[in-house]
Amino acid sequence: MINEVTTLATLVTVHIVALMSPGPDFALVVQNAGRYGRQTGIMIALGLSLGILLHSILSLTGASLLIHQHPMLFALLQAAGGSYLLWLGIGALKGTWQHWQQRHQAEQGMPAKSSQRVLANRKQALAKGFTTNILNPKALVFFVSLLSTLVPASMSLGGKATAIGLLWVTSFLWFALLAWLLTGARLQQKLKHWTPWIDATCGALFTVIGSLIWVSILTP
């Protein structure tokens, strides 16, 4: 029992450190919470945490390891994940460019057409968060490595279920807290001024990560 508690504590600690590291999930919350508000940010957080929940279940049941050990399956996941991140990145960069064009047109007294892409409802935000996490091949590798290293095969079924639950809860709480903090009244006013720069930064991050994934596929 003591060994299981120690294992779970170590697992959660490593996971929290990983969550706080900048990456696609972190950038997605920052970008969307700052632009669309608290409810959207929290739904993004829920979607991301559900992706992590599925990764955890697949890793502990051996399904993720099976994918990782089969080059063709893993390459397909990498291609899907890299393409999706590129799509997010190019969309964000395109939106930033259109924003500056509209701003320039407004300064020149020209009518500007609204081309801003929005998340129409909570389901879209949830789906965007889930898809971003579940298609991230680095997440699959991380959870296979984390759980195979820290969770022994001899751990009880209850212990494994607790591990999965803790990973999901800590993920949701962290991303929801991040969304909550980013949408405070004062900070929200400041973020409105920085929204184009946030979009540009997140778009560049998505594009670079997506490109690096494709480079790893094309250069064995």
* pTM greater than 0.85 (yes/no): no
Classify residue 160 as exposed, middle or buried by CB count within 10 Å of its CB (0-12, 13-18, 19+): buried
Of the chain, the percentage scoring pLDDT greater than 90 comes to: 30
Q: How many domains does the chain have?
A: 1
**Would you say residue 94 has pLDDT above 70?**
yes
φ and ψ of 93, to 5 deg: -65, -40
CA distances from 145 to 127, 159, 161, 173 (A): 26, 18, 18, 23
Residue 48's closest CA among 19, 25, 72, 15?
25
Closest CA to 43 of 112, 122, 158: 122
- Residue 41's pLDDT is 92
Domain ranges, residue 78: 2-218
pLDDT above 70: residue 8: yes
What are the pLDDT digits (tens) for 98-127? 656 655 555 556 544 444 445 557 889 999
Higher model confidence: residue 138 or residue 177? 177
| Tens of pLDDT, residues 187-216 | 666 666 677 777 788 888 889 988 988 998
